[in-house]
Amino acid sequence: MKKSGLYTIALLLLCISATANPGSVNNPEGTGLPDSVEIKIDTLIARMGISSQTPGGVVGVIREGRIIFEKAYGQADSETKTPNTTSTLFNLGSTSKQFTAAAILLLAKQKRLSLKDDIRKYFPDFPDYGYPITIENLIHHTSGIKSSDGLCLMAGTLFSKDNREGDYNFIARQKSLNFRPGDEFLYSNSGYILLGKIVEKASGMKFSKFIEENIFRPVGMTHTYIYDRPDKTTVNSATGHVRGGDQKFERSGYQNTTLTGISNVYTCIEDLLQWDNNFYSNKLGKWDFSKEMTTPEILNNGDTCKYAFGLDISEHNGLRTISHGGGTGDFSTQYTQIPSERLTVVCLFNISTDATGLANKIIDLYVKGNPKHVAAEVTPEKANVDTALLQKYAGKYLDKSYGFIVTITADSDHLVFEAPYQGRFEIYPSSDSLFHVTFADLKLLFRRNNKGEVAGAAIIQGDQKFDLTYLGTDIYPLKAEQLSEYAGDYYSEEIDVTYPVTFKDNKLYIKLPESTAQFCRVNAESELVSECDDYFASPVSGIEFTRNTENEITGFIIINIGRVRNLVFGKVK
């Protein structure tokens, strides 16, 4: 046994030593960092599959205004075999958004704009949706504007039109909002693309120049730059990597994208130290930088939006956190502050990986916090419910938010939940109205009206809740001979793309763009499953076909793909 144990430890140490880059460690003496912490961080990195032969990243820990741990792992470029170092620059991805937000704050302090300004003051050609959209709405993702990445994905251009002008024109083509401004929080990259343009209009300067001269340099971020044009020199910068068909890492082509406002700030641990220190001692003016940057918005219903100025306000193990993560497909980053401990963890990688999870694990090595006690999961006991009650719950239920219809059937002592592309599983009674599954933390709560009739249900998973409306039992899918009238080409003016719908072998199919299908991991030609009337299920969303007063099919609506709701297509005549 001892021999086996020693052999295992030797392998672990070999793995760790092969992962880190010699000479790339900055662990100053006198910081009080136990050697065991470094070994644990190395082990976490090794478990991510990162070695000296793969792309990797840099991890930094800041405490009380100085770096107490800094180490590089893997390669900055897999083709040249250049190793990452602690001074290598990485694309922050969406972690860049806090700099865009800071620029807006700075311009507001200079009275060159107001957070309450209607954005049509800066974009007179922007659609008027009947409600004012303010700069503040853009900052906090409460504008309701459909997210550009979702629009581009459904258009088959993946994530971006490659420049802010192209993306702006795409955003401005939208005929509707996801919701009334201020009603909800829903992450939207469109907002920060617009903010980048507002910075230029309010300052009279190019976005990158304003940020570099008014934020990076005053704060002391002397190595940081914004990648805003393809010919920009990128000295000492990591190259992004993706996994190829053989699962080996290869350089990506994403660096050709020069979209700013939402991404493309390249920086290093040393410069992020300067940025982090600015939250405690502001070099941008005589105002409370930390308080302003972490102030959230109050929604229309009085709830507080937890997204501040390009920063998430949350908690980890009972400790308040200020953070943001970023992912571009070939870079992954995480910046997390714990103000009460004056501790910050930064993770920068030139691959797609769980930088957020790693940052949380590293935080746990330094501070214990006050983690909430989570009781061991116990499957609720099955209650005895009258079969007549089970029969009452049977029927069709509509999820209006996603356009899916759920079928509930009674089966001896339990119910069966089934929906196209959503799976089929059994649900068991915990009480007369609450049902559970045996394989996950998922519940179904039925509700009745004041007459005792079934009115609907709610799917509850963690802190998420999805409402279902009861439709009844006499709801049936269309017959095969009824499907042919839906065939045709459908064009979306909003995203400038045509989706063919075909009828063959007594089934209806929709043809998605190849890149859309690949990203969603579905077949490009996927079946549209009839649910009832003009509602169909697809692998990406529920779809509702529309008709005119003569009952002719005029188009369809893709109801919800997350950051984009109610995407309209018209039938081509």
Q: Give 403-429 pLDDT, tens digit per residue.
A: 889 999 999 999 999 999 988 999 999
156 φψ region: left (φ > 0), alpha (ψ -120 to 50), beta (else): left
Specify the pLDDT at position 380.
80
Specify the pLDDT at position 243.
84
Strands, E assignment, 151-303 = 225-226, 241-243, 249-251, 265-267
Q: Give 308-365 pLDDT, tens digit per residue.
A: 999 999 999 999 999 999 998 899 999 999 999 999 999 999 999 999 999 999 999 9
Phi, psi of 121 (to 5 degrees): -65, -35
Q: For residue 555, how many other CB atoms are within 10 A of its CB? A: 18
Cβ neighbours for 409, distance < 8 A, ≥ 6 positions apart: 394, 415, 416, 418
Q: How far apart are CA 207 and CA 195, in angstroms?
A: 10
**Maximum CA extent, the chain:** 83
Cα-based distances in Å from 508 to 503, 558, 567: 5, 16, 20
Alpha helix positions (H), 447-572: 514-520
Residue numbers in the chain where pLDDT is lower than 70:
1-35, 158-164, 253-256, 372-379
Cβ neighbours for 339, distance < 8 A, ≥ 6 positions apart: 279, 290, 320, 322
Specify the pLDDT at position 3.
38
Is-contact 289 278, C-beta < 8 A?
Answer: yes
Specify the pLDDT at position 34.
62
Structure tokens at 313: 């306000």
Q: How far apart are CA 340 and CA 444, in angstroms?
A: 39
Specify the pLDDT at position 246.
73
Q: How far apart are CA 13 and CA 251, in angstroms?
A: 29
Handedness of CA 168, 169, 171, 175 (dihedral sign): positive
Phi, psi of 396 (to 5 degrees): -105, 140
Chain centroid to CA 74: 26
Is-contact 103 84, C-beta < 8 A?
Answer: no
Ordered structural domains, the chain, with CATH: 91-348 (3.40.710.10), 387-472 (2.40.128.50), 480-571 (2.40.128.50)
Structure tokens at 136: 């503040």
Specify the pLDDT at position 255.
53
Going by their DSSP bridges, the two strands 312-316 and 565-571 should be labelled as unpaired
